[in-house]
């Protein structure tokens, strides 16, 4: 597998950086060179994520990273997000995506939040578009927007995000990438994961709370890849996300959690 394809697959792992309710709120930084050719990369690791969106208690989750390239087209699985680029171009990407939003139930690290109505696993479908520019011999800037809508009836809402990323090859074995993101959620999503209904207030002791759509968060992410051999690589991922406005003011966050959301993960991958 070409090193460019491996970098693209591993840098893409950062898109699963926020696996709770706001799955994949951090997107992949631009790879230093787009993948070209036919190749497959498979990786698996472990990540630490908040037990619920807005929570301050963390849990381990699996971190899968899979990417299959056909020239510049690809299918990628990055944690709970699957994307398919249907454009055969080194600089432009467009295609469908499916996003899995984890449930809010069980041991959440908050007695009050555990008393709220459970939220089941949701699945969202949408699309993404991206444009990349080579800005140096080994570095690329990538701009991307994407949106997805719940089709399982769990929150019946939309999520969207925009990002700008940069990644570069610092040595033959080491790649480093960074990205900045801003996320949006509509009323359906906001009410499901951040509102407190009258029934929920009575059960949990939290204040009743309503909110609407708006800018949900901003974030920064970093990913680093080190090639252990021609086919085996290690990738480390870290991100910070800050909930904003009415989302941060929810008692689920302000009283029982934190607006500061962290993520860390480590994965080992093999290229075919």
pLDDT digits (tens, 9 = 90+) for 223-259: 999 999 999 999 899 999 999 999 999 999 999 999 9
What domain count does the chain have? 1
| Strand boundaries in the chain, DSSP class E | 38-50, 58-70, 73-78, 81-85, 92-101, 122-134, 139-150, 158-169, 174-185, 214-227, 232-243, 260-271
pTM summary value: 0.85
Q: Give the residue among 237, 217, 213 at the shortest CA–CA distance from 225.
A: 237
Q: Which domain holds residue 246?
A: 3-271
d(CA 77, CA 153): 23
pLDDT tens-digit readout, 84-103: 999 999 999 999 999 999 89
Look up the CATH number of the domain holding residue 135: 2.40.230
């Amino acid at each position: 597998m070409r090193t460019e394809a491996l970098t693209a697959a591993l840098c893409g792992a950062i898109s699963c950086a926020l696996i709770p309710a706001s799955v994949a709120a951090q997107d992949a930084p631009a790879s230093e060179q787009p993948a070209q050719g036919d190749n497959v990369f498979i990786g698996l690791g472990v990540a630490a994520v908040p037990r619920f969106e807005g929570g301050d208690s963390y849990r381990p989750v699996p971190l899968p990273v899979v990417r299959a390239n056909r020239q510049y087209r690809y299918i990628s699985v990055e944690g709970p997000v699957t994307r398919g680029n249907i454009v055969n171009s080194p600089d432009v990407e467009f295609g469908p995506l499916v996003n899995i939003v984890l449930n809010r139930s069980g041991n959440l690290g908050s007695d009050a939040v555990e008393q709220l109505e459970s939220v089941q696993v949701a699945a969202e479908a949408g699309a993404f578009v991206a444009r990349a520019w080579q800005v140096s011999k080994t570095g690329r800037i990538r701009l991307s927007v994407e949106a997805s809508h719940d089709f399982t009836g769990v929150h019946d809402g939309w999520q969207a995000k925009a990002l700008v990323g940069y990644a570069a090859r610092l040595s033959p074995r080491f790649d480093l990438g960074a990205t900045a993101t801003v996320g949006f959620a509509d009323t359906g999503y906001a009410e499901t994961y951040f509102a407190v209904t009258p029934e929920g207030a009575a059960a949990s002791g939290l204040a009743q709370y309503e909110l609407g759509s708006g800018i949900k968060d901003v974030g920064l992410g970093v990913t680093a890849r080190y090639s252990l051999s021609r086919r085996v690589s290690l990738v480390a991922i870290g991100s910070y996300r800050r909930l904003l406005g009415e989302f941060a003011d929810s008692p689920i966050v302000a009283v029982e959690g934190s607006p500061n959301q962290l993520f860390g993960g480590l994965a080992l991958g093999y290229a075919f």
